[in-house]
Structure 1
Amino acid sequence: MAMQVKEVASLAGISIRTLHHYDDIDLLKPTEVTESGYRLYVEDDLEMLQQILLFKELGLSLKEIKAVIYDPSFNKQEALELHQQLLIEKRNRLNRMIAMTEQTIKSMKGEKPMTNKQRFEGFDFSENPYEEEAKKRWGNEKVNEANKKVRGMTKGEQADLAAEANEIYKKIAKLMNQSPSSESVQKAIQEWFHFLNRNFTTYSPEAFKGLGELYIQDERFQKNIDQFGEGLAEFLKEAMGVFADSLLNEEKQ
């Protein structure tokens, strides 16, 4: 039985805007569209949506997901088996951290002592997705420059900086009913671009666009940004891409 976009959004726990966006970029187009313009999704569409959301959980960008799922060699079963394996690994790591936390609470209550080694079991900082991806895209110098600048600030300065960033997020969130390429959205993105360059490090158009990609690839970024509006990280990524491409075109002229 075909489902309308509102029903699918509720079922999958995503926004209607997200489904509209997937349609607009040809990532997930509904099988049917009524004469009245209603999008209708069938079981195959839901199966594809599940794959998209699983790939997002693994940190892939929508562009990367589109390339994968529409590749002629794409095998749905193999992909699901890989998803399962990676999710199990993630669950095991979380279980170790939960066990460590429970043991720490018991130790604090005096119920069961724990060793220093047990206190840190479950932690794994061998790889930071954001740092690794940022270093790969922009080089160690850029990342270290930004980190050093933030560490050199007082707590008050860091709080002021965060407040200014949050205001820009709120401003852009109010514009999500418009196209990412609209004049008002691009004006707000320009403000974001200058804010980052003024307070952190110098971002080239390519680096700025890459940063937008990280907003949806790194779940910490996405969770923080989406608190200002569901789907804001994705919207911000698209708008930053438009802005960066515009700067690159200007440079070519």
Structure 2
Amino acid sequence: MNKINELSTGDFAALCQITKKTLFHYDKIDLLKPIRVDENGYRVYALDQCDKVSTIKLFQKIGMSLQDIQDFFQMNDMSRKTDFLLQQKATALAKINELTAISKGIDFMVTRFAHFREIGVDHFFEETLLQPEPYFLTKKSASAHQSVSAMNYGYQYGVIIDREELQKPLPDFSCIFQRTSLENCNFLKPAGQYRCVYKLLRNDQMLRIVPEIVEAIGLPETAGPLFHEDFCSDIAGFDNQFVVKFSIRIASDPNEAAFEK
């Protein structure tokens, strides 16, 4: 190279952290061409073309095609370019929000799985809910069978078994709950102290085990419905069995417990 700002294809590719094959493709589609080809047929690039490569890579990361990127570079109207960049910024922010939600979902699953591993199955424990949890309740379908899964209800979901059902030999649930935002909820799980247990169950045990849970928990000392929550079944990966968390609020005083009887 006879000028300080001129680079061979290999050096330019290394500087931009892309391959020579990529540069050849950019040249072929007229997206980024060398500043000249020397007498031996070698492509020569300028140092300041690194900025264009950086822009191309940035646009690719937000999902733009090479054709869309080419169209942007060929725009002559500055207003159109400004509008286009603002649109791409909005796209990037949407992706950031999506990734943030995914990260929170993973953190949520990690925390739940770690707690399940620490406590294990069949061990009763108490936990404190410091703030009411917002849920969206869906009344049980009139059909004989209703599938309840994370595919439809998100990471935190389950069913609620009303107080009067807990007295029956084979109780049934009244509605499905799913964790949601405060503005979208139609039910608040009350703050307070909860008595809980994890169970490893087959499908046919999901409701048949409830009387056993109720007796062990001590229903007279509690208030409100029983929450029957799929906890981390997909992550735990037990064959034909599901991790279910049962929880019910401990009555704050004897009068509340007496009222719930």
Query: Does TM-score exceed 0.5, indicating one fold?
Result: no
Task: Please state which band the TM-score falls in when normalised by the shorter chain.
Answer: 0.3 to 0.5
User: Greater strand percent: which structure?
Assistant: 2
TM-score (norm 1): 0.39
Higher helix share: 1
TM-score (structure 2 length as normaliser): 0.38
